Amino acid sequence: MISLELESFAYDDGAVLAGVAVSLGAGERVLVVGVSGSGKSTLARVLAGQFDAGQGHRFVGTLSVAGEQLVFAGSGSDPRIDPAAWAQHVGYVGQRAHAHLSMVCATVAEEIAFGLANRGVPAGRMHALVDLAAARLGLTDLLERDPRRLSGGELQRVAIAATVVGNPGLLVLDEPFKGLDVAGRRDLELLLAALEESGTTILQFEPMLPGDVTPATRVLVLSGGSLVAVGPDARGGEDLGRYGIDVDGAVADAAPLAPAVEEDPAPAVRIRDLSFGYGAKPVVSIAALDVSSGEAVAVLGPNGSGKSTLLQHLNGLLRPDTGTVQVCGEDLRGRPVGSLASTVGYLFQDTDQQLFEHTVLREVAYGPRAAGLPRKEAERCALEALAAVGLADVVHHHPHDLGFRDRRLVALASLMAAGPRLWVLDEPTVGLDLRGRDILARLLRGHLGDGGTLMMATHDEVFARAVCSRMFRLGAAG
């Protein structure tokens, strides 16, 4: 179905991949694992045809799909890939799955049908295909919902549905299980197994070895832009630890800290009779929730249960329809969002939304500067935070030139540099490799050990139990 003989693939600032050979037949499933910066996402985009030859990068090698071979010499005369024609054979979902959606459609059904409509699929056939894809991914009840009102995990499933609905012969999936709850992971795994059985070729990219990977799945290990282990050895004979890879769910071995509760009658977070909805139907309703200073609380619940909605009330991004939210003894009603930055540090589920400056140093120093610190003092705070997350050597890089793990750590450093006592983190472990998880665990334990407070929304109960002292579970919305 697809084969790649890649001599080299380089961006303007240096090589990313070298000496990579991959070949897959119809109905084969291959798992590629590697740490952040190993070249996984670049390899996924190359195999999916998601590049413009000669535009900011140089590709030397051959790529064959469905019997058609394309030869690239890294020159302006290299062949161009027609995205519409390519998509008939290859379906691709990248790390930021929602970026593959138009986000202009009024309903989930229209979003899933978007590609089919552009290809002129008859309406009756299109409706049947959309209904089937939605049913396979647990989206039937969401078909009439506005995609912009979905949770991250729900959007992930919509993006996958929009890709598989066209029945491509090859699926290239970059961390497809990211942000999914238990039911969503089960539905996706059943779908992938059914597609594999029917002859679809599947390439899946992950930063950790999935704990439930089947013996039939071929495993490739990518390190430093090259394949270093292939087949059964990558699963058992090879020591994956030498490549920074562990089984999904691993975290530094340590018991969670007991809450370092301060002698303060006012809790760090106090919520009473909170209700919020985007329409007549509430998204989240909480009668009472207190979080003491120095405590770490994990917010658990299925996709769409309101975890992110709850967290966004803690820094004023959302305001309750009814009820009150107090942080550090102060009611947030009428309090500008910007004025809370030194009290509440917020890490978005999609941290790329938080990165907007031209250099890492400017990015991390922005919060302290906005709080009124002189430039040199703000930069000192930024450098301390970057050293704490292990990124002191990239201060002059553009944030979006970094790998996924390091971009997330830059966003976390930006939060830390402002010195808030309450950290509010939305799915902080999603997409992190073993080193990233260990760095995050160390930073969270250090914050708690210093008397800081943490609220974290997550599906990663293993990590939550390693760093949090209490769990707060939300039920399914509605």
Tens of pLDDT, residues 227-277: 987 655 565 545 677 888 887 765 555 555 555 555 556 799 999 999 999
Average pLDDT over residues 199-223: 87
- Spatial contact of 361 and 396, defined as CB atoms under 8 Å apart: yes
pLDDT in tens, 109-127: 999 999 999 889 999 999 9
Question: Quick check: is 204 in a domain?
Answer: yes
- Please tell me whether residues 214 and 327 are part of one structural domain: no
Question: Quick check: is 262 in a domain?
Answer: no
Which pLDDT does position 55 carry in this prediction? 63
Between CA 338 and CA 417 the distance in angstroms is 15
Task: Provide the residue range defining the domain that includes 25.
Answer: 2-243
Q: 88-102, 250-264, 330-344: which has the minimum mean pLDDT?
A: 250-264
Question: Quick check: is 263 in a domain?
Answer: no
pLDDT in tens, 52-61: 655 678 899 9
Question: Quick check: is 248 in a domain?
Answer: no
pLDDT in tens, 62-71: 999 888 899 9
* φ/ψ of residue 56, rounded to 5: 85, 5
- Please tell me whether residues 277 and 225 are part of one structural domain: no
- Please tell me whether residues 275 and 174 are part of one structural domain: no
- Spatial contact of 299 and 340, defined as CB atoms under 8 Å apart: no
How far from each other are the two terminal CA atoms of the chain, in whole angstroms?
44
CATH number at residue 223: 3.40.50.300
- Please tell me whether residues 290 and 438 are part of one structural domain: yes
- Please tell me whether residues 209 and 286 are part of one structural domain: no
Which position has the higher pLDDT, 239 or 319?
319
Residues 6+ apart with CB under 8 A from 263: none
Between CA 97 and CA 40 the distance in angstroms is 15
Question: Quick check: is 17 in a domain?
Answer: yes
Report which DSSP code applies to 389: T
pLDDT over 90 (residue 51): no
Q: Where residue 99 falls among pLDDT bands split at 50, 70, 90?
A: confident
pLDDT in tens, 275-311: 999 877 889 999 999 999 999 999 999 999 999 999 9
- Please tell me whether residues 335 and 236 are part of one structural domain: no
Residue percentage of the chain with pLDDT more than 70 = 92
Question: Among 191, 209, 243, which residue terminates a domain?
Answer: 243
- Please tell me whether residues 296 and 237 are part of one structural domain: no
Sign of CA dihedral 437, 442, 447, 451: positive
Looking at this protein, which amino acid is placed at residue 63?
L
- Please tell me whether residues 10 and 119 are part of one structural domain: yes
Question: Quick check: is 114 in a domain?
Answer: yes
Question: Among 243, 260, 295, which residue terminates a domain?
Answer: 243
- Please tell me whether residues 222 and 293 are part of one structural domain: no
Sign of CA dihedral 103, 107, 109, 115: negative
Which pLDDT does position 478 carry in this prediction? 46
Q: Where residue 394 falls among pLDDT bands split at 50, 70, 90?
A: very high
- Spatial contact of 203 and 24, defined as CB atoms under 8 Å apart: yes
- Please tell me whether residues 86 and 211 are part of one structural domain: yes
Residues 6+ apart with CB under 8 A from 299: 307, 310, 311, 455, 456, 457, 458, 472, 473, 474
Question: Among 228, 243, 258, which residue terminates a domain?
Answer: 243
> What does the mean pLDDT of the chain come to?
89
- Please tell me whether residues 413 and 286 are part of one structural domain: yes
Q: How many structural domains are present in the chain?
A: 2
Which pLDDT does position 147 carry in this prediction? 92
- Please tell me whether residues 336 and 440 are part of one structural domain: yes
Q: 154-163, 332-341, 431-440, 462-471: which has the minimum mean pLDDT?
A: 332-341
Q: Tokens for 40?
A: 């996984």
The 10 Å Cβ neighbour count of residue 335 is: 16
- Spatial contact of 396 and 359, defined as CB atoms under 8 Å apart: yes
Which pLDDT does position 255 carry in this prediction? 52
Question: Quick check: is 259 in a domain?
Answer: no
Residue percentage of the chain with pLDDT more than 90 = 67
Question: Quick check: is 258 in a domain?
Answer: no
